[in-house]
Amino acid sequence: MIEVRGLGVTFPGTPAPVLRSVDLDVRPGEQVLVLAGSGAGKSTLLRVLAGIVPQVVDAEVTGVARVAGLDATTTPTADLAAHVGTLTQDPTDQLCLPTVLDEVAFALENRGVDPGLIGPAVHRTLASVGAAHLAGRRTAELSGGEGQRVALAAALVADPQVLLLDEPTALLDPAAARGVARAVRGAVGDGRATVMVEHRLDELGHLPARVLVLGPDGRVRADGPTERVLHDDARSLAGMGTWLPLSAELTAAGVGSLERLTVDPVPTSVPGVRVLSARGLSVRRGQRTVLDGVDLDVHAGRVTAVVGLNGSGKSSLLLALAGLLPAGGTVTGGSVGLVFQHPEHQFLARSVHDELAWGPHRARLPDVDERVSAGLDDYRLRGLEDRDPFRLSGGQQRRLSLGAMAVCGHDVLLADEPTFGQDRRTSAACADALRRLADEGRGVVLVTHDLRLVGEVADDVLLLRAGHPLALGPVDDVLADDALLSRAGLPLPAVLAASRTTGHPVRAVLRALRTATLPAPVRA
């Protein structure tokens, strides 16, 4: 169904090819998981198979890529679409029409299917991905998880022979991700060849039988049965910054279980002075109360994680703490910086250097150059000083947005989902940066639904559900309380469940696992 021979792809303006000499055969009915670090060409491979590269996105392509018997590099994307369904990360990029019905029917209309057959096919496909109840909705009103299910239905409705999935759960909260992963599992059926890029392997439930690993140089590093490749190659995979299922991570760490890991104690952070205090914080949006009666003290030297599902009021809390939303209650304390979820929303200058200098300049700080220089080093931005922030890679943008806020020297730093959609290396770098800021004596508040990140950096956890505080306490207590997590709707990641059996604090266990699997020093 898919036949790739000696595929090489080089994008204009980049010195090195992103893919080199890639061979891949996928038979009908076969499922392949593609693993690689950031920038190693996973998405590019999928875009070649979908006919997007080089036809819509310019690139120099060598070798052969045949999909359903057609040359994917020359067959127009729209014609190839008769055989290929594609699902990408972000529902807002894929839902192009105003209503769910129109959206799902679109692929069939484009193929000239008899209008009488389209309606039943649309409803059948929506039902097959657990979205039958969304048939009457407008696409703009859907949540991330709902939108992704509708986008999956839109990709599946024409019954494609090939399904390409590019991190379909990357931007979802854990509950929504599991729902979409379930729908995806149902979609990889009879005779359909599936190629999938996915980070959240533990949440997939069960992994495709075959895995293709791309090295940092864009060459195929391994291709074979998932169990064997993950086991044999675990160490190098972990070194590349790829997310791995827990079993493979343990293999990479050279242990059979977390209990066998050598865990060094990590120093407990002692709460410093109170740098921010919120009392009775509440936020209304229109007629809806999205946050109600939240009290929170932020102390220097401590990281407080705010967790909860989408819609639990996490982001509203941060906006209220930063004084960016009209809110009831009081917020008192020092200066506050906030790192937003999408770095692009926050960029103000046309070069990395100016971006870092922006805040210190506005604050009329005397040592702007020193701060910029330290920011370039701390956030691994040396060599990128003159680059346009909007043209950086996702990981670089993330580091820049963190750095640009950190150099301002605020008493409190708030961060909204800083590891959203990032690979393991960037996530680890973010975690380190936040920890370092706290250790420097700032108060840090981190909003996330990644409980592993919480375990890695947080001292305290505030659990929110539907705008109300469920619990506020030390991280080890909150993460040990199954009933509480289940009330918040947050499934415990496998690694956190396993860490409970070790008897060590969760941060110490995760730190030990990091050290054992990501040997290269990670500096944000």
Residues 291-350 contacting other proteins, CB under 8 A: 319, 322-326, 331, 335-338, 340, 342, 344-348
Q: Which residues of 67-100 are buried (b: 16+ CB within 10 A; e: fewer)?
A: bbebebbebebeebbebbbbbbbbbeebbeeebb
Footprint on residues 36-75 left by other proteins (CB under 8 A): 50-52, 56-57
Footprint on residues 398-437 left by other proteins (CB under 8 A): 404-405, 408, 410
Q: Which residue, among 275, 260, 88, has the nearest Cα to 166 in the 3D structure?
A: 88
Residue 454 binds to other proteins (criterion: CB under 8 A) = no
Residues in Cβ contact with 344 at an 8 Å cutoff, skipping those fewer than 6 apart:
389, 390, 397
Residue 119 binds to other proteins (criterion: CB under 8 A) = yes
Query: Could you tell me which stretch among 29-37, 82-90, 190-198, 215-223 binds other proteins (CB under 8 A)?
Result: 82-90
- How many whole angstroms separate alpha carbon 253 and alpha carbon 403? 31
Footprint on residues 248-277 left by other proteins (CB under 8 A): none
Is the omega angle on the peptide bond into residue 54 within 30 degrees of 0, that is, cis? yes
Nearer residue to other proteins within complex by CB, 113 or 472: 113
Q: Residue 324 Cβ, how far from other proteins at the closest point, in Å? A: 4
- How many whole angstroms separate alpha carbon 13 and alpha carbon 392? 13
Residue 102 binds to other proteins (criterion: CB under 8 A) = yes
Footprint on residues 156-185 left by other proteins (CB under 8 A): 158
Rounded to the nearest angstrom, the gap between the alpha carbon of residue 30 and the centroid of all alpha carbons in its chain is: 26
- How many whole angstroms separate alpha carbon 29 and alpha carbon 27? 6
Number of residues that bind other proteins (CB under 8 A): 73
Nearer residue to other proteins within complex by CB, 139 or 226: 139
Footprint on residues 122-141 left by other proteins (CB under 8 A): 122, 139-140
Q: Residue 210 Cβ, how far from other proteins at the closest point, in Å? A: 24
Q: Residue 98 Cβ, how far from other proteins at the closest point, in Å? A: 4
Nearer residue to other proteins within complex by CB, 319 or 462: 319
Residues in Cβ contact with 54 at an 8 Å cutoff, skipping those fewer than 6 apart:
9, 48, 60, 61, 73
- How many whole angstroms separate alpha carbon 287 and alpha carbon 285? 6
Binding mask 362-401 for other proteins (x = CB under 8 A): xx--------------------------x-----------
Based on the number of CB atoms within 10 Å of its own CB, is 176 exposed (0-12), middle (13-18) or buried (19 or more)?
buried
- How many whole angstroms separate alpha carbon 219 and alpha carbon 36? 10
Q: Residue 150 Cβ, how far from other proteins at the closest point, in Å? A: 12
By DSSP bridging, strand 210-214 and strand 220-225 are antiparallel
Binding mask 215-254 for other proteins (x = CB under 8 A): ----------------------------------------
